Structure 1
Amino acid sequence: MDHMIFEVGTALLLVSAASLLAGKLKFSIIPFLIVLGMIVGPHAPVFGIFDFTFIESQDVISFLGRIGVLFLLFYIGLEFSVSKLVKSGRSIVFGGTVYVLLNFVIGMIYGFLVQFPLYETLIIAGMLSVSSTAIVAKVLVDLRRTGNSETELILGMILFDDLFLAVFLSVMSGLLLGGATSIGGILLSVAMSMGYMLLFFIIARKGTPVLNKLLNISSNEIFIIVMFSLLFFIAGFSETLHVAEAIGALLFGLALSETEHSKRIEHLVVPFRDFFGAVFFFSFGLSIDPLSLGDAAWMAIGAVALTILANMIAGMIAGRNAGLSHKASTNIGLTVMARGEFTIIVANLGISAGLMPLLKPFSALYVLILAIIGPLLAKESKHIYAGLNKIFKWSKPKEKQQAKQNSVEL
């Protein structure tokens, strides 16, 4: 037991070092932690008392990673609000719909082209459809674009994407975890999942006064004990109904999002989300054999190329529909490009249901590539727009516009 605790401590120290390096480079910690997990693990060497195989502690690290998923989804539920979506406007709903549908359809076509079975194809389509809220938010802050004209639409599309994720996970949980084989059984399983989700939507809309009274706890110590107890209970109870524990956490956060305690909960949850979330990415990498990545390399590269194309088209359609410039529309497509935590969560659903083992290395490579190049593409959006503008002639250079204006004045 003492050695296991030392192993966990060593793993956390490595996670801290990778996070510090990512911070120094001003980059998302997600690819760093996944790569770190892949470098160590069962194939890693042992140096004296330092055992980087983490065999004895793997179950503990994996469990801590599962807790990370719960906190990530719980936090997203707190951020998401039914009333926000209602008030968000036609442009956000249109943009979000185009973004999700285009990516999902391309994912389905790609899954069938690589000859995956139906359920694996659905998981692939889901993976290609969900952006990384964490990376997108970091990109907007790091590039100082929070005040840009397109930022509200970007955040709205991400919010819509989170809603799609909730529905998708609920439906797929019913299909994959419900154990139904007949059409009637599948429909019943999916209906149960959707009904369970609808219950939380109703609670979020109608049960706020009751929740406000129940959560009116002055002591932060008692408050956080109550909150976390409910979080783990609801996540576990969701599993008994064949709804993924992660989506149970998201729905619980959604139910609390409209309460007057939401900001207090959010403030208390953030440190746990960041800590356990980091362990989740590390544990995901730890479960991947780097030698297996070659089997999924070309498939992941093809999915990355399709995602870049689909995001650029969706961003342009959404931006122009909202009356934004071609440059702002280009920014939309490039900013929502990154894939991260939610793509891995979708992949894990398929893996836990016993689908093709290839999903694990494919999802790792797909996320790694887009988590790295996504922020880089967003950073270079000005040059990318300039290159695209030369091809499509969206707008004339300023000097030509000025010359034309001067000639008119003369």
Structure 2
Amino acid sequence: MHHLPQLITDLTLILAVAAIMTLIFKALKQPLVLGYIIAGVIVSANFSWFPSISDAQTENIKVLSEIGIIFLLFSLGLEFSFKKLAQVGGSSSVSAFVEAIGMSALGYGAGQLLGWSTMDSIYLGAALAVSSTTIILKAVEELGLKKKKFAGLVFGILIVEDLITIAILVLLTTLSVSQQVNGIELLLSVGKLIFFLILWFVAGIFFIPTILKKTRNLMNDETLLVVSIAMCLVMVYLAAGAGFSYALGAFVMGSLLAETTKAERIEHLVKPVKDLFGAIFFVSVGMMIDLKMIGEYAIPILLITVVCIVGKVITTGIGAFISGNSLKVSLQTGMSLAQIGEFSFIIAMLGTTLNATSAFLYPIIVAVSGVTTFTTPYLIKASSPFYDWIDKRMPERWRKSLTRYSSEATTITATSDFHQVVKSFVVNVLLFSVIIGALVFLSATYILPWVNEHTSYAIGRITVTLFTLAAMAPFLWGLIVRNERNESFVKIYSIQKYRSPIWVMRGIKLGLAVFSIVFLFNRFFSISVALSAAVIILFVFVFFRKKIQEQYDRIENRFIRNLNDRELQAELKQLEIQASKRNVALAPWDAHMTTFEVLPETSIIGKTLEELKWREVVGVNVAMIKRGQVTITTPTRYDRIYPGDKLYIICTDAQEKKMNAILRADKKLLEKQHDAEVELDKFTVEHDSPFINKSIRDSGIRTITNGLVVGIERDGERILNPESSMIFAEGDVVWIVGEKKLIDSIN
């Protein structure tokens, strides 16, 4: 008989018991996660009534369970998507952060009350801070509540919690290594995390969708599975090399692939692999449970379970309520999230792996998860009757106050153009600073040593410096001008009082650009050489600004196209379905759909598609126009183009370049707008005024002042937004918004 490796024997035992427990728990309509954990308890060395895994093989099982964590986080990233985070809204974000902070504090307090060490208490708080996405989604779906209002809020909170979980893992890793709370060190860790997340996101969105599109003809299911898993493991390696948890790398790559057109297909292919290794992970969780220890810590388990259920109901409910939801929705949300699950296991396992926590913490977390998982469906079902019970006994004065607060909290206030400009400035500086810093670091750390091996010392430094500077050039240009190419900036710049802050922001951006050039040259040369080079390079940039602008536009267009490709393809399929019903040919085979945003400064504003003749001149088809909340599908030749429109155009790569040139802002319009200063002013219609006895329309005042009459005071009466047919009379006080110089000319 051939010798069978012990690992195969152990896997046979693990999967056989897991399969039996899966069938049992499926029949009982209970979460399969608990079945896997019980299977782990049965096959562990702590359970003497059944064949167990040998101690010598536990390390192999541990490695397989870590692979399970990788695939769990990878699959979570595939379902996550950075766009989903932007779409869940402020209510979900506020609720999730209030819950995470509140439960971390309650968990830490409970640990201290039980006399535990500081690290045990911190890990307990972190484990209680997040809920189980898998268990909650399953429970809500089985109860038929997915379309309820609170369910949407719950799903949004779970998305934000996924990101919080990653942040917790990173911070706990840093904290466990240092074994002390160091505010500066934690702040540096957060900064490092933000730096790498931005870098990985930008690089991933730029390269990964392009690679998948270029190789789409070679991608069958087998190849795509291997490629996607390889990408996952490469990012795991990079994350570990950067000093982060390997789980972070898996999550990041999953979220990057979630933005591609292959996301659903990859998720489908990876699911069996995730289920297999996920089962091994949860079985390994059960193998670490000592039933005797659970009996010994029954009172802490009971206390922590109560803290978990009551604390999550209160903290999540408060977060949901203060963010503008009704008391009923807030209570239902809190009672739906009152448990912990697989991510709490991962957090607890991190403490065990790093030897940062005591041995009893892990089985306690698993036991609390088991109890709260069983209570989840019952809490969700009881949330509505519980609210009715509270509502009947609530004083009327309280009810009115709570209703009034909820109504006021949901009031939406428009963000001013200046706030938009400031926000764009911050994002612009952060994004391009990260990219430029990464290019300098990579050139100095990796490229320079290689070049020095193959060339002389001086030639190597000059070559690497020029190469890095060429790579930095488009991003330096983007740092300086990127956030000034939008409607909000043009509006703000035309108002005199905002020009000083804008020039301050411009000074900061220019200063960062100069600093980046000096920093690059100073890595390879003296500071005097670096300062002299910075001055020379600025003049070179001005001379070659058009070439640099074109290069930056190409990079930005590819990034935006890759970022929106998944949604664009979905909309294109929908349009193709609609077109096929009408027997309309939508696009040539080599075309793709691209979005273009219409700037207010373009020369096409107000023109119809018939007047523009894009189909005849360029050969493109306008498939759809999005105008705010209005969508115009397959627009007719009579539809006009307005500022802010998002055009969905089907074109080839060559046609796309032509459309970029057509839709570029008109420099003359920009210069005219920059020179204009808009203000609200008034003038009185005298007896000799050229406007007297003329209607607003016939007076030509709109053309003269390039403005708008917004009000008229006549005989003590104020008329707001007067009709254009209204006749000016002597003594009228006319309020007008327009260009200051032109208004002054009629006063």
TM over 0.5: yes
1:153 aligns with 2:156: no
Name the stretch that deviates more: 197-206 or 167-176: 197-206
- Provide the secondary structure at the position in 2 that maps to 1:150: helix
Counterpart residue number, 1:38: 41
CA distance in 1, matches of 2:5, 2:94: 54
> C-alpha offsets along residues 18-60 of structure 1, whole Å, 9 cap, x if unaligned?
111111111111222212212331133477xxx3344454333
Partner amino acid, structure 2, of 1:35: I
> Which has more helix, going by share of residues?
1
Q: Is the 8 A contact 1:111 1:121 kept in 2?
A: yes
Name the stretch that deviates more: 131-140 or 4-13: 4-13
User: Which of residues 6, 11, 15 in structure 2 aligns to 1:8?
Assistant: 11
1:302 aligns with 2:288: no
Distance 1:178 1:315, change over 3 A: closer
Distance 1:3 1:55, change over 3 A: farther
- Provide the secondary structure at the position in 2 that maps to 1:147: coil
The Cα shift of 1:389 comes to 4.0
Name the stretch that deviates more: 69-78 or 316-325: 316-325
The Cα shift of 1:386 comes to 4.2
CA distance in 2, matches of 1:19, 1:306: 30
The Cα shift of 1:348 comes to 0.8
- Provide the secondary structure at the position in 1 that maps to 2:149: coil
**TM-score, with length taken from structure 2:** 0.49
Distance 1:361 1:181, change over 3 A: same
Q: Is the 8 A contact 2:41 2:47 kept in 1?
A: no
Distance 1:334 1:186, change over 3 A: closer
Name the stretch that deviates more: 132-141 or 93-102: 93-102
Name the stretch that deviates more: 374-383 or 183-192: 183-192
1:103-114 matches, within 5 Å, as 103-114=103-114
Counterpart residue number, 1:276: 277
Q: Is the 8 A contact 2:313 2:337 kept in 1?
A: no
Distance 1:178 1:241, change over 3 A: farther
CA distance in 1, matches of 2:164, 2:207: 23
CA distance in 2, matches of 1:62, 1:220: 29
Name the stretch that deviates more: 328-337 or 198-207: 198-207
Counterpart residue number, 1:225: 226
CA distance in 2, matches of 1:3, 1:23: 32
Q: Is the 8 A contact 2:73 2:251 kept in 1?
A: yes
Q: Is the 8 A contact 1:41 1:55 kept in 2?
A: no
Counterpart residue number, 1:372: 374
Q: Is the 8 A contact 1:312 1:334 kept in 2?
A: yes
The Cα shift of 1:292 comes to 1.6
Structure 1 residue ranges without an equivalent (≥5): 396-410
1:351 aligns with 2:346: no
CA distance in 2, matches of 1:337, 1:264: 33
CA distance in 2, matches of 1:189, 1:153: 30
- Provide the secondary structure at the position in 2 that maps to 1:380: helix
Structure 2 residue ranges without an equivalent (≥5): 398-747
- Provide the secondary structure at the position in 2 that maps to 1:92: helix
1:330 aligns with 2:323: no
> C-alpha offsets along residues 110-144 of structure 1, whole Å, 9 cap, x if unaligned?
23333433333321111011100000110111001
The Cα shift of 1:347 comes to 0.6
1:144 aligns with 2:144: yes
1:1-400 matches, within 5 Å, as 2=4, 4=6, 5-45=8-48, 51-177=51-177, 188=188, 191-203=191-203, 209-210=209-210, 212-213=212-213, 216=216, 217-321=218-322, 324-355=325-356, 356-392=358-394
Q: Is the 8 A contact 2:92 2:320 kept in 1?
A: no
The Cα shift of 1:86 comes to 1.9
Distance 1:352 1:214, change over 3 A: farther
> C-alpha offsets along residues 136-178 of structure 1, whole Å, 9 cap, x if unaligned?
1101110011111111111101111111111111222233247
Counterpart residue number, 1:408: none
CA distance in 2, matches of 1:266, 1:18: 26
CA distance in 2, matches of 1:394, 1:31: 44
The Cα shift of 1:388 comes to 3.8
Distance 1:299 1:192, change over 3 A: same
CA distance in 2, matches of 1:181, 1:89: 32
> C-alpha offsets along residues 385-408 of structure 1, whole Å, 9 cap, x if unaligned?
34444554689xxxxxxxxxxxxx
> C-alpha offsets along residues 304-360 of structure 1, whole Å, 9 cap, x if unaligned?
212212222234334444655443332211211221110000111111110222221
> C-alpha offsets along residues 83-118 of structure 1, whole Å, 9 cap, x if unaligned?
222232222222222222222222232233334333
Q: Is the 8 A contact 1:135 1:338 kept in 2?
A: no
CA distance in 1, matches of 2:141, 2:5: 41
Q: Is the 8 A contact 1:80 1:159 kept in 2?
A: yes
- Provide the secondary structure at the position in 2 that maps to 1:259: coil
CA distance in 2, matches of 1:81, 1:156: 12
CA distance in 1, matches of 2:46, 2:114: 30
The Cα shift of 1:201 comes to 3.5
Distance 1:215 1:101, change over 3 A: farther
CA distance in 2, matches of 1:328, 1:187: 35
Greater relative contact order structure (CA < 8 Å, 6+ sep): 1
Distance 1:378 1:233, change over 3 A: same
**TM-score, with length taken from structure 1:** 0.86
Name the stretch that deviates more: 10-19 or 174-183: 174-183
The Cα shift of 1:17 comes to 0.9
Identity of aligned residues (%): 27
Partner amino acid, structure 2, of 1:368: G
The Cα shift of 1:283 comes to 0.8
Q: Is the 8 A contact 2:316 2:330 kept in 1?
A: yes
Distance 1:184 1:309, change over 3 A: closer
- Provide the secondary structure at the position in 1 that maps to 2:45: coil
> C-alpha offsets along residues 182-215 of structure 1, whole Å, 9 cap, x if unaligned?
8766665554444333433434565564354466
CA distance in 1, matches of 2:395, 2:30: 33
Counterpart residue number, 2:524: none
Q: Is the 8 A contact 1:69 1:280 kept in 2?
A: yes
Q: Is the 8 A contact 1:70 1:249 kept in 2?
A: yes
Partner amino acid, structure 1, of 2:129: S
Distance 1:54 1:19, change over 3 A: farther
Counterpart residue number, 1:399: none
CA distance in 2, matches of 1:117, 1:202: 41
- Provide the secondary structure at the position in 2 that maps to 1:2: coil
Q: Is the 8 A contact 1:81 1:254 kept in 2?
A: yes
> Which has more strand, going by share of residues?
2
CA distance in 2, matches of 1:187, 1:328: 35
CA distance in 2, matches of 1:181, 1:391: 45
Name the stretch that deviates more: 344-353 or 359-368: 359-368
Task: Give the RMSD, CA atoms, in angstroms.
Answer: 2.8
Name the stretch that deviates more: 96-105 or 230-239: 230-239
